[in-house]
Chain A
């Protein structure tokens, strides 16, 4: 064996070992079971194989914009009053589709300059444009608007990640779903209780403490009637749990102040606890600043009522007996221990910047995943055996060469997946099988070419040489086109389909090495052992 060949052999064995390590790491035991355990530790299985929940969420980014424009309205009103500028109406004409737009009517032309000052000083993120009849329109600068929306998505991802982490789900995927607008992809392996997780992710967890001005009323109409058909301007009606023994079903309404004394961001901590009757509830503490505000609010309203509002629903109404500094509880109806725990966790993780809506939900039960692995592995083994045996029969000794190349191809593919942490899905297993079917194409191309050259009277060494050099160009062209398709699949697909694209691409890249370099080295070795003029078994 010459030096060149030795060097190649060393390289091939080295690569084999490196990728075997990629598949198995250092296994605990070398029994079949031990090897499988070592392998599944390194190569991640996709949701479709191990079971779990896949969700696509839409972040309703307009909610976040609405919060900002509501704030702008407040600032505008305050400033207009301060500078004594008259106006007839201020409104958001299309909160659904253009939540950033605020229309101000009836401003006297003389105050135009003042208004422009307010806008540029206090609302720099808005553009002010004037229309007919002394109407002014305030709308958010496009750059600000898109920043605000993408910030809402990033924040939502962070919040949801915090919540899922505290649920103890292992290896969740939470990322922006690039295929849609403002969507989030959540994958939860092994989660067999999507209802609870979905509830936990979806809760906006907007906590507010408001002054209760009236109620409970059995219905909205009843409340309106009592107030003479008109609500006070700084008050609003919110639904809540019915007080015990009241008529009107399980829902009642409360009249509360628009302004909140305390908001979710004033929360320092929340814990599940039990009240004096042993009923589960959630107690919370406020931050220093929030506590200060709460203290001044409660001292000013001793004897009146306050309400704890969660996601626009009154959970708790209590009489203020004395000034409270920084603690409170939420019980709201009948919570069980699990719900109390979940709620305290949601509150700790903070509020979502915008509501979310579920667009897609897929749950694969573990029983199906187990069956899929079994079927996929069976098909892979059958497919491989067919190819390996056929190559042996058809090309005899050269068939061994092809089979070695194919097996090495498989080792490199799986090892690579182990190294980069790629996920093996059911279509991914199909990709492995297809790699075998398509990978053998390179061998066939080369072998057929060698046979042709031999028929044309070339000597074995020159036929091998010609065969490889002619087939090489074709192999590169065919691999490039397939990898282009796979790359496009990867960009457009999700989950299982991406897994397929990954295995197909890695498999074909490895094939370039095994079918050409390794196979060539084996031929060279065989030729080096043959006498001049001895026939090649192909």
Chain B
């Protein structure tokens, strides 16, 4: 099977269309970052408290909002998380409510607010640690174990927690759900000391303002170092202008990807930055493949104009470019569709970035080379030196 054979598309002739396309997306992204959604920093960078709560029934967003308001958490944002059938809610406190003196106060407040109608003197089994359950069991000793109770009850407590977290996805709605995995006597003793609330906390992220600022600086530095690394390596392997062209291209990809996150108002988390750094490497791959071919063809086609050589090189590598991009895109799409909510931002960045990265190695990197050549000829200088050999 073969999709592309001896294509002869004049890519360089379409450079103004490409430029217009890239400008529209870059400008839209910049516009959104400046005037619309801003840069949607995730909790890693802005600081704050995120509590992911799973309910045993469909949560009522308005009632939740009112409850948070009554608890004094006026700026709490409440969003549904993941598929509606999962009954998950993400409660988001901003950095003002995340005090470094008492980092987890917001979390405690949220949990206390949700724990309405708690019977006096009972603990909430859905939000109890295995240790608390063990202590209760040791105290009650429902299995009449006597001396070696500590170890046995630790096992039972773990079995209860596993039944809750692994069996029921984090929330028990009835004590009967413990049947089978937990000792009947131990299970029967639980209702005396515990009640079942209608929610369980799945995940908590609390980032203080200091760490947020620290991570922001580091993400920027990492991106800058990555770009500088590319520039140096390509300058060393080719000519400096190739390095510059590749870095401008990758910068363009980064800008459009971040801009897309701003336009879509999706949070940029640490893993999104990881995805962007991966894209810097990936987009460079594509560019290098084309550059390598240009380097090879320059030697073979000494009489042709550079634009001719570049066009030929792009066409020759087109099949590979589309195939690789297509396959990588499909794997990333699998990640986006099946990888779960935690990786959604990460895989979204990859989905966008792979499309842009492939496009840009053809539409941005190569025209920069040719434009630089034309400019030199216009200035009456020699055309660019042939890139160094292999």
Taking Cβ atoms with an 8 Å cutoff, the residues of A that contact B are: 48, 51, 56, 58, 179-180, 192-196, 198, 338, 357-368, 370-372, 374-376, 378-380, 382-384, 386-387, 390, 393-396, 426-427, 430, 433-434, 436-438, 440-441, 444-445, 448, 451-452, 470, 473-474, 477-478, 480-486, 488-489, 491-494, 496-497, 500-501, 504
Report 30 cross-chain contacts, Cβ distance below 8 Å, ordered by A residue. Answer: A180-B210, A180-B211, A192-B161, A357-B101, A358-B104, A360-B206, A362-B204, A363-B203, A365-B170, A366-B162, A366-B165, A367-B202, A368-B342, A371-B340, A375-B343, A376-B339, A379-B343, A383-B334, A387-B330, A430-B343, A437-B331, A444-B320, A444-B324, A473-B292, A478-B284, A482-B285, A488-B226, A496-B270, A497-B274, A500-B278
**Residues of chain B with a CB closer than 8 A to A195's CB:** 104
Query: Is B67 located at the chain interface by the 8 A CB criterion?
Result: no
Of residues 321 through 363 on chain B, the ones whose CB sits less than 8 Å from some CB of chain A are: 323-324, 327-332, 334-335, 337-340, 342-343, 346-347, 350
Contacts A48-B342, A193-B131; is A361 near B214 (CB within 8 Å)? no
Taking Cβ atoms with an 8 Å cutoff, the residues of B that contact A are: 1-2, 52, 54, 100-101, 103-104, 129-132, 135, 161-162, 164-166, 168-170, 200-208, 210-211, 214-215, 218-219, 221-222, 225-226, 229-230, 233-234, 237, 270-271, 273-274, 277-278, 280-282, 284-285, 288-289, 292, 296, 316-317, 319-320, 323-324, 327-332, 334-335, 337-340, 342-343, 346-347, 350, 390
Number of residue pairs A-B, CB distance < 8 angstroms: 251
Q: Does the CB pair A362–B222 fall under 8 Å?
A: no
**Residues of chain A with a CB closer than 8 A to B135's CB:** 338
**Residues of chain B with a CB closer than 8 A to A394's CB:** 1, 323
Complex CA gap A396/B1 in Å reads 8
**Residues of chain B with a CB closer than 8 A to A196's CB:** 129, 131
Q: Does the CB pair B284–A481 fall under 8 Å?
A: yes
**Residues of chain A with a CB closer than 8 A to B338's CB:** 375, 378-379, 382
Q: Does the CB pair A440–B343 fall under 8 Å?
A: no
- The interface centre, meaning the residue of B229, B335, B337 with most chain A CB atoms within 10 A of its CB, is B335
Q: Does the CB pair A359–B222 fall under 8 Å?
A: no
**Residues of chain B with a CB closer than 8 A to A438's CB:** 282, 285, 324, 328
Complex CA gap A196/B342 in Å reads 27
Residue of A at shortest CB range from B390? A473
Within 8 Å by CB of A383, from B208, B285, B335, lies: B335
The 9 closest A-B pairs by CB, nearest first: A375-B340, A193-B129, A367-B170, A482-B281, A485-B281, A437-B331, A383-B331, A437-B328, A383-B334
Complex CA gap A364/B203 in Å reads 5
Q: Does the CB pair B170–A368 fall under 8 Å?
A: yes
Within 8 Å by CB of B288, from A193, A370, A481, lies: A481
- The interface centre, meaning the residue of A390, A395, A481, A491 with most chain B CB atoms within 10 A of its CB, is A481
Q: Shortest CB–CB separation between residue B158 and chain A, in angstroms?
A: 10
Q: Shortest CB–CB separation between residue B294 and chain A, in angstroms?
A: 12
Q: Does the CB pair A362–B205 fall under 8 Å?
A: yes
**Residues of chain B with a CB closer than 8 A to A478's CB:** 284-285, 288-289
Q: Does the CB pair A368–B52 fall under 8 Å?
A: yes
Q: Shortest CB–CB separation between residue B22 and chain A, in angstroms?
A: 22
**Residues of chain A with a CB closer than 8 A to B292's CB:** 473-474, 477
Contacts A478-B288, A481-B281; is A359 near B210 (CB within 8 Å)? yes
- The interface centre, meaning the residue of A360, A474, A497 with most chain B CB atoms within 10 A of its CB, is A360
Complex CA gap A501/B234 in Å reads 22
**Residues of chain B with a CB closer than 8 A to A494's CB:** 270
Complex CA gap A480/B273 in Å reads 20
**Residues of chain B with a CB closer than 8 A to A448's CB:** 317, 319-320, 323
Residue of B at shortest CB range from A493? B274
Residue of B at shortest CB range from A500? B274
Complex CA gap A420/B168 in Å reads 35
Complex CA gap A477/B242 in Å reads 13
**Residues of chain B with a CB closer than 8 A to A496's CB:** 270-271
**Residues of chain A with a CB closer than 8 A to B104's CB:** 194-195, 198, 358, 361
Residue of A at shortest CB range from B168? A367
**Residues of chain A with a CB closer than 8 A to B280's CB:** 485
Complex CA gap A311/B89 in Å reads 40
Residue of B at shortest CB range from A479? B285
**Residues of chain B with a CB closer than 8 A to A390's CB:** 327, 330
Q: A362-B205, A441-B327, A444-B324 are known contacts; what are 13 more A-B pairs with Cβ within 8 Å?
A: A180-B214, A358-B104, A361-B206, A368-B52, A368-B170, A382-B337, A386-B331, A441-B328, A478-B284, A478-B289, A485-B280, A492-B219, A496-B270
Q: Does the CB pair A430–B203 fall under 8 Å?
A: no
Residue of A at shortest CB range from B347? A430
**Residues of chain A with a CB closer than 8 A to B277's CB:** 485-486, 488-489
Q: Shortest CB–CB separation between residue A471 and chain B, in angstroms?
A: 9
- The interface centre, meaning the residue of A365, A440, A480, A482 with most chain B CB atoms within 10 A of its CB, is A365
**Residues of chain A with a CB closer than 8 A to B323's CB:** 394, 444, 448
Complex CA gap A48/B269 in Å reads 15
- The interface centre, meaning the residue of B162, B169, B284, B327 with most chain A CB atoms within 10 A of its CB, is B327
Complex CA gap A382/B332 in Å reads 10
Q: Does the CB pair B208–A360 fall under 8 Å?
A: yes
Q: Does the CB pair B334–A481 fall under 8 Å?
A: no
Complex CA gap A376/B339 in Å reads 5
- The interface centre, meaning the residue of B162, B200, B271 with most chain A CB atoms within 10 A of its CB, is B271
**Residues of chain B with a CB closer than 8 A to A497's CB:** 270-271, 273-274
**Residues of chain A with a CB closer than 8 A to B234's CB:** 481
Complex CA gap A430/B271 in Å reads 11
Contacts A357-B100, A393-B1; is A387 near B214 (CB within 8 Å)? no
Q: Shortest CB–CB separation between residue A504 and chain B, in angstroms?
A: 7
Q: Shortest CB–CB separation between residue B222 and chain A, in angstroms?
A: 4
Q: Does the CB pair A433–B334 fall under 8 Å?
A: yes
Within 8 Å by CB of A484, from B233, B271, B317, B340, lies: B233
Contacts A368-B52, A440-B324; is A481 near B233 (CB within 8 Å)? yes
Q: Does the CB pair B233–A441 fall under 8 Å?
A: no
**Residues of chain B with a CB closer than 8 A to A430's CB:** 335, 339, 343, 346-347
